[in-house]
Amino acid sequence: MLNLLIFLPMVGGFLIWLLLRRSAVAARWAVLAVALVEAVICLKLWATMGDGFFAQVHAAWLPSFGVQYLLGMDGLSLVLALLTAVVTLGALLVAWNAVEDWAAFGALILIAEGAIMGVLCALDLVLFYVFWEVMIVPIFFLAARRGAEARRAAMRFFLFTIVGSLLMLVSLVALYVLHGQATGEYTFDYFKLLHTPMGAHLSLWLMLGMLSAFAVKIPMFPLHLWAPDTYSRAEAPVSIMLAGAMANMGAYGVMRFCLPLFPAGAQIFAPWGMALGAIGVVYAGLLALVQNDLKRVIAYSSVSHMSLVVLGLFAWQRQALDGAVFLLLAHGIGVLGLFAVTAWIEARGRSMDLDGMGGWFKLMPRMGILFLICLLAGVGLPGLANFVGEFLVLAGGVEVNLAWSVVAALGILVSVMYFLRAYERSMLGPLREEIELRDLGVRETFVMGATALLLLWLGLFPQVLLSPVGAVTAALAQMH
């Protein structure tokens, strides 16, 4: 089952590229079909979910080097896999008419999706690293698709990522060597490495090595420098994949690897992690406040939200961890809606410049309302998804470190300001110029509507997705 989950989109993407290069329409439908099947597989996994790591797959791979092919899924990875499937579907629908070479584009998106699933399921550290890197390559090509600026941004993204990843590789191998020297068994098996004895100091350095890879992905302050540019230069569907699906892998990595593998080192770092998270929330929020480009506002808001996740992760406390995971879900769905809005605006031939907008609510009431729902979710309005996450993170955070949690709470206040400013300048007020703008079509309304409904559903019934995660976060919190 997990093999199918990972390799169906990869092989499917490759075959689509191979066979359907001539016909964009056929390729588009095929890509969508594969992504739908992928979502169904995720739902099926949800239905058959068991305790601990279920649906394990185990095979020898490189036995003389202690590498095996070991897959498994638990509540945490399941929830994030569901999110990834949904976000990918959304990204494809957003790209529907905006992309011409669907065979290449769709193949890259599908390969990235498969690799993300692999990252979520891999329980062997080398296997994990393989999927981790495979994930970046298609995303890099996707992000570099639009002109010289995008290429430069993508290059910066890739270099940031790769430095982090390679440092992680050093940490992984060092852990492997340490474990081997201590126990005589050289292995990359996650479960066996969990209890590797090492000094706190060494543990801290190895933890930082791993964290450098995850922090870049999240993007965690101060390693976020690549993110705003890459998000805003890339096409909307690519930004959705970057912010909505791939960024989550950073947070997942922290929970799955950084904290449990190096508890002693993580313990030392945790206060700093909370501080960086809180600073990131405020800093990115303030930057979002002064942007004149709608896409950049959204990009910075995404960085700000993910910083709150960082705060939750390093609070390392049950509610905060629950909240962090939930915030990932809310943020993923939220950026899908927000970047989708930029795609709709672009499809109507308008630029992202906030100065050129204004009064569009009259022209596009449907979009205006749905856009507002996404924004309000981002602001943290009760009843919508983000609220649950933010509340849990702060409630947990206050218990651990009052000061930084208060700073982060102030950062949320900033989010109200920048989102409402962006909405006011684009949708409200007088029309700047006489233009005709079509309101959302059927597909566009469907994407936005589904996003809004999901946000509402998550906000009203958070327990549905919190309960699978509960066992994981509880076990993690106990290590603290």
- Please report how close the Cβ of residue 203 comes to another protein at its closest, in angstroms: 14
Does residue 177 touch another protein according to CB under 8 A? yes
Query: Taking Cα atoms as reference points, which of 409, 293, 377, 385 lies closest to residue 79?
Result: 385
Cβ-contact 414, 289 below 8 angstroms: yes
Output 142 or 384, the one with its CB closest to another protein.
142
Please give the C-alpha separations between residue 305 and each of 31, 45, 184, 308, 312, in angstroms, as whole numbers: 30, 29, 43, 5, 11
Does residue 176 touch another protein according to CB under 8 A? yes
The three-state secondary structure class of 411 is helix
Output 59 or 442, the one with its CB closest to another protein.
59
Output 151 or 421, the one with its CB closest to another protein.
151
Distance CA 64, CA 187 (A): 9
- Please report how close the Cβ of residue 132 comes to another protein at its closest, in angstroms: 8
For the chain, first and last CA: distance in Å? 33
Does residue 349 touch another protein according to CB under 8 A? no
Residues numbered 156 to 175 that lie near another protein (CB under 8 A) are 158-159, 162-163, 166-167, 169-170, 173-174
Alpha helices per DSSP H over 146-189: 147-183
Output 180 or 356, the one with its CB closest to another protein.
180
Cβ-contact 462, 326 below 8 angstroms: yes
Distance CA 475, CA 469 (A): 10
Tokens of 90: 């959304």
Binding segment for another protein among 39-47, 139-147, 353-361, 394-402 (CB under 8 A)? 139-147
Residues numbered 63 to 102 that lie near another protein (CB under 8 A) are 63-65
- Single out the residue of 24, 32, 36, 155 in contact with another protein (rule: CB under 8 A): 155
* H or E element at residue 70: strand 67-73
- Please report how close the Cβ of residue 27 comes to another protein at its closest, in angstroms: 13
Residues numbered 14 to 43 that lie near another protein (CB under 8 A) are 17, 21
Q: Is the dihedral of CA 439, 443, 446, 447 positive or negative?
A: negative
Contact map string, positions 283 to 322, toward another protein, x by CB under 8 A: ----------------------------------------
- For residue 411, the one-letter residue type is G
- For residue 80, the one-letter residue type is L
Output 32 or 134, the one with its CB closest to another protein.
134
HSE of 141 in the Cβ direction (CA atoms, 13 Å)? 13
Length of the chain: 480
- Please report how close the Cβ of residue 173 comes to another protein at its closest, in angstroms: 5
Query: Taking Cα atoms as reference points, which of 306, 446, 472, 270 lies closest to residue 366?
Result: 446
Output 64 or 478, the one with its CB closest to another protein.
64
Does residue 62 touch another protein according to CB under 8 A? yes
Burial class from Cβ neighbours inside 10 Å (0-12, 13-18, 19+) for residue 69 reads: middle
Output 169 or 279, the one with its CB closest to another protein.
169
Does residue 144 touch another protein according to CB under 8 A? yes
Cβ-contact 367, 439 below 8 angstroms: yes
Output 149 or 424, the one with its CB closest to another protein.
149
- Please report how close the Cβ of residue 98 comes to another protein at its closest, in angstroms: 16
Binding segment for another protein among 45-53, 135-143, 345-353, 358-366 (CB under 8 A)? 135-143
Cβ-contact 284, 225 below 8 angstroms: no
Does residue 134 touch another protein according to CB under 8 A? yes
Distance CA 452, CA 217 (A): 26
Output 181 or 351, the one with its CB closest to another protein.
181
Binding segment for another protein among 127-135, 256-264, 375-383, 464-472 (CB under 8 A)? 127-135
Total residues contacting another protein by CB under 8 A comes to: 32
Binding segment for another protein among 130-138, 324-332, 347-355, 381-389 (CB under 8 A)? 130-138
Burial class from Cβ neighbours inside 10 Å (0-12, 13-18, 19+) for residue 93 reads: buried
Q: Where along the sequence are the contacts to another protein (CB under 8 A)?
A: 17, 21, 61-65, 126, 129-130, 133-134, 136-137, 140-141, 144, 151, 155, 158-159, 162-163, 166-167, 169-170, 173-174, 176-177, 180
